[in-house]
Amino acid sequence: MTAEQSVTDLETIDAPWNKTVTLQEITYPGGMKMLRLRIKEGRRFTDLELDSGTLGVLSNSLQNWLDTNGASVNRTE
């Protein structure tokens, strides 16, 4: 992270197989914002930064999958 970059944690989700997904808003110099998906698995982190266009496509794909498979997904909160 650069000194000018701002990171705001939005939500943390406990995922299957002992993984944690954190959603973060990243604001870069000049005001550009992206959403970071940070997946933590043990000591390993995978970061995926998405712009609004890419996030929109991903959101639609996730919703389509959920519409098809959601009834069979069992999550306990």
Please, what are the averages of pLDDT over each run of 10 residues along the chain (77 residues)? 79 95 95 96 96 96 91 58
> What is the value of pTM for the model shown?
0.77
The pLDDT score that the predictor gives to residue 5 is 84
State the amino acid at position 48 in one-letter form. L
Phi, psi (deg, nearest 5) at residue 73: -90, 125
The pLDDT score that the predictor gives to residue 70 is 79
1 close to 7: Cβ distance less than 8 angstroms: yes
The pLDDT score that the predictor gives to residue 39 is 97
The pLDDT score that the predictor gives to residue 77 is 46
